[in-house]
């Protein structure tokens, strides 16, 4: 529905995102209107599209989804508009003098003949130009936002677009709306394509086909984790997306290759396409890794005695593979250690640290997530950081110094994607030892690349695979069941005296209900609060998917008490809700209270879990405190970077460890309900696993060893870098020639 009125009062406005709370005079009736507005001031007439809502605290109000602005009319309206402060250099008194001279022609004078303003007392020629410029900027923004709305672009998105393109917004969007995909966060191909259709861009336009093909490759990176993609597959998928002939896409692909907008490469003897930036990242990572391999000092250390001393002091006995791993870390430039739960990876890390320190070397500990870094700190008694923070990954990365260390140890390496890996390698000087520790059988990184597997496949790095389970770990059914699943065997489900339980249920609704009931019971059983229990769902959607289970758990654990709340597409957020940040936002500001002082910084990352401490409906923002004490404020334009986290997907749990894990198992597609997803879920638990579902579905997952193919080039690039290095040291003679 439509609501027209004059703005009587602006009670709140966030200039960063445009969220506004205004009081309108709508045919003599005061109305509260909220939403994302372009710059508006008291006295302006607005036409809003949206609907009525009832806020529990503030009552009936109009929630706007579109805002058109009418130019103020009448002497009083013009004076009020000019004197509002919206236009730099004009206050109420000056506004009155201007309008007293030019009357209802005031706006025409400012736009077309601003020099006339200098005839008004208090306005010089230069000030007249400044006023005209400021008025033009505001008008450009308002006009641009209204133009974008004509393409059915939501207000919030329209404001984001304007921030990118400024006064060129309308021109850019009209000529090539596909640029929005690359330039503006949150805009995908479908939105851009709808705009293109309205601007008259032909279905077989080169603009459109180029955008569709590049979008297909970007989605392959974002969704599939690929760093390249078979040429024919990319062409056929893009053609299907665009509804055009494959031959046309093939022709455009050839042109994009010639223009260096796409990179032609090969994988497994088949032509493949890659985005140039991704291609360079992967190739550079290979070069940097090779540099670390060959730059290690050639000193041979006899560590056998040191290992023996460590065993004696700590009352342990390392098995042969563990000793081999420790020795390799000290001797080699780069070492990769893999192993499942209970194989002693943490023991090895502690031993390596002590041996490095005994040799007088400084050691830095890192992990991909805050949770993993915290766990690493607790296990070793030494400070560990996230890779992001250590490398200042993001906007200020280039300005940061190299890491000051003789050795760097990275835990949970299976989670590291190619972009993070390259960022890390850029910060490690030549000669520094690099130790990579992970579990090769877990799900691959959420981000692009197949880094751990590619390094193993290259054969360039000393790799030790741990396979012996420690005796004390064997006492845990979590550990033994995890290894059973990994071997393709059914886990033990009927041992009532263990840390691994099974509850039978078939229908998704019943599985979801039992999951909700079990959270508080599990927390009580192991003596923790419910927030320390994590539900891990294989899928987002469905009755037992993360979205629905979140709603059910929110209702149970944090019922609506009538306080502040905000809404997005999937959830209602309330104070006290458990939430997770789901993208890397390098610019989001945070504070940590330390006594009476505050430590400030920026960067909140994918997988960070916290709780909503305050919802301020009047300002339209929420305050979230993360587990490490960081406090960040979320405005409406970044609400979509949060999800409720009572339940999360197994993919989102990577790198994290929880006191208790509850796993609802339902029917699902063969590409989702896989053995390594089940293995990953089980290995996230420290004290308790509760599996809920039908045994036949669990067996299906155990038997389903499907692993989605990931196309990547790192292993080949590493071999190339090794060959080039060998040629360099041999004086350019290829011994194989």
pLDDT averaged over consecutive 10-residue blocks of the chain (737 residues)? Answer: 86 76 86 84 83 77 84 79 79 89 89 90 89 84 79 77 85 86 82 87 91 94 94 97 96 96 94 97 96 84 87 89 92 94 90 92 92 88 89 62 92 94 94 95 90 95 89 78 94 88 95 96 94 95 94 93 72 90 86 78 86 82 89 86 94 88 93 93 94 96 91 96 77 50
Which helix (DSSP H) or strand (DSSP E) does residue 613 occupy? Answer: strand 609-616
Determine the angle formed by the axes of helices 418-427 and 276-295, rounding to 10 degrees. 40
d(CA 10, CA 34) in angstroms, rounded, equals 10
pLDDT given at position 737: 39
Answer yes or no: are the C-beta atoms of 18 and 121 closer than 8 Å.
no
Q: 37 in helix, strand or coil?
A: coil
d(CA 677, CA 652) in angstroms, rounded, equals 11
Tokens 């609506």 belong to residue: 560
pLDDT given at position 472: 62
What letter would DSSP give residue 469?
P
d(CA 441, CA 676) in angstroms, rounded, equals 6
d(CA 703, CA 714) in angstroms, rounded, equals 30
pLDDT given at position 179: 87
pLDDT given at position 486: 94
- For the record, the structure tokens of 551 come out as 């709603």
When computed from its CA atoms, the radius of gyration of the chain, rounded to whole angstroms, is: 30
Q: What is the dihedral of CA 544, 548, 550, 551, to 10 degrees?
A: -140
Query: Where does residue 575 fall: left (phi above 0), alpha (psi -120 to 50 degrees), or beta otherwise?
Result: beta
Count CA within 13 A, CB hemisphere, residue 5: 22
pLDDT given at position 352: 94
pLDDT given at position 297: 78
The pTM (predicted TM-score) of the whole model is 0.81
pLDDT given at position 489: 96
Tokens 């309308």 belong to residue: 170
pLDDT given at position 388: 87
- Residue 333: phi, psi to the nearest 5? -65, -40
pLDDT given at position 374: 85
pLDDT given at position 598: 80
d(CA 85, CA 75) in angstroms, rounded, equals 17
């Amino acid at each position: 529905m439509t609501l027209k009125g004059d703005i009587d009062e602006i009670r709140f406005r966030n200039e960063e995102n445009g969220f506004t709370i205004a009081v309108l005079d709508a045919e003599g009736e005061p109305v509260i209107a909220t939403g994302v507005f372009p710059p508006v001031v008291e006295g302006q007439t607005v036409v809003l599209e949206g609907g009525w809502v009832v806020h529990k605290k503030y009552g009936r109000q109009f929630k706007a989804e579109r805002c058109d602005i009418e130019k103020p009319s009448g002497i009083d309206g013009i004076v009020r508009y000019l004197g509002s402060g919206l236009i730099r250099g004009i206050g109420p008194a000056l506004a009155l003098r201007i309008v007293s001279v030019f009357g209802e022609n005031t706006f025409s004078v400012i736009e077309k003949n601003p020099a006339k303003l200098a005839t008004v007392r208090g306005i010089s020629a230069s000030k007249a130009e400044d006023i005209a410029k400021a008025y033009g900027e505001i008008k450009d923004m308002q006009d641009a936002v209204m133009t974008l709305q004509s393409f059915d672009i939501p207000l919030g998105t329209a404001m984001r677009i304007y921030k990118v393109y400024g006064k060129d917004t309308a021109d850019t969007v009209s000529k090539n709306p596909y640029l929005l995909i690359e330039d503006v966060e949150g805009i995908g191909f479908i939105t851009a394509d709808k705009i293109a259709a309205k601007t008259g861009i032909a279905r077989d336009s080169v603009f459109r086909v180029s955008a569709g093909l590049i979008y297909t490759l970007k989605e392959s990176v974002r969704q599939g984790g690929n760093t390249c993609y078979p040429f024919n597959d990319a062409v056929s998928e893009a053609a299907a997306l665009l509804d055009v002939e494959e031959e046309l896409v093939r022709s455009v692909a050839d042109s994009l290759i010639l223009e260096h907008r796409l990179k032609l490469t090969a994988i497994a003897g088949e032509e493949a396409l890659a985005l140039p930036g991704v291609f360079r990242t992967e190739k550079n990572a290979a070069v940097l890794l090779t540099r670390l391999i060959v730059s290690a000092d050639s000193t041979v250390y006899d560590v056998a005695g040191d290992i023996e001393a460590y065993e004696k002091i700590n009352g342990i006995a390392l098995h042969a593979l563990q000793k081999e791993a420790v020795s390799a870390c000290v001797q080699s430039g780069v070492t990769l250690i893999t192993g499942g739960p209970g194989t002693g990876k943490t023991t090895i890390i502690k031993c390596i640290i002590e041996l490095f320190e005994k040799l007088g070397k400084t050691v830095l500990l890192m992990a991909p997530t805050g949770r993993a870094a915290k766990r690493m700190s607790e296990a070793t008694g030494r400070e560990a950081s996230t890779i992001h923070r250590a490398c200042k990954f993001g906007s200020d990365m280039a300005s940061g110094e190299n890491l000051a260390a003789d050795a760097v140890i990275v835990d949970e390496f299976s989670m590291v994607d190619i972009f993070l890996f390259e960022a890390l390698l850029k910060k490690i000087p030549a000669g520094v030892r690099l130790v990579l520790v992970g579990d090769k059988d877990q799900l691959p990184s959420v981000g692009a690349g197949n880094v751990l597997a590619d390094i193993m496949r290259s054969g360039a790095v000393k790799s030790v695979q741990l396979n012996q389970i420690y005796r004390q770990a064997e006492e845990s059914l979590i550990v033994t069941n995890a290894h059973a699943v990994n071997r393709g065997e059914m886990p033990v489900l009927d041992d009532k005296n263990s840390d691994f339980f099974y509850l039978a249920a078939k229908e998704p609704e019943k599985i979801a209900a039992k999951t909700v009931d079990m959270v508080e019971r599990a927390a009580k059983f192991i003596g923790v609060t419910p927030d320390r229990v994590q539900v891990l769902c294989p899928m987002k959607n469905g009755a037992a998917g993360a979205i629905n289970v979140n709603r059910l758990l929110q209702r149970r654990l944090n019922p609506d008490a009538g306080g502040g709340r905000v809404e997005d597409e999937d959830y209602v957020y309330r104070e006290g809700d458990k939430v997770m940040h789901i993208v890397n936002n390098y610019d989001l500001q945070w504070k940590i209270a330390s006594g009476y002082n505050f430590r400030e910084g920026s960067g909140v990352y994918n997988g960070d879990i916290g709780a909503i401490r305050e919802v301020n409906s009047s300002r339209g923002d929420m305050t979230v405190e993360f587990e490490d004490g960081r406090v960040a404020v979320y405005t409406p334009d970044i609400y979509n970077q949060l999800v409720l986290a009572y339940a999360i997907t197994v993919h989102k749990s990577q790198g994290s460890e929880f006191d208790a894990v509850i796993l609802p198992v339902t029917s699902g597609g063969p590409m989702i309900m896989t053995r390594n997803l089940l293995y990953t879920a089980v290995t996230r638990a420290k004290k308790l696993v509760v599996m809920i579902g039908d045994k036949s579905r669990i067996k299906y997952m155990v038997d389903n060893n499907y692993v989605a193919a990931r196309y990547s080039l790192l292993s080949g690039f590493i071999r190339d870098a090794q060959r080039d290095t060998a040629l360099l040291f041999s004086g350019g003679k290829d011994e194989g020639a």
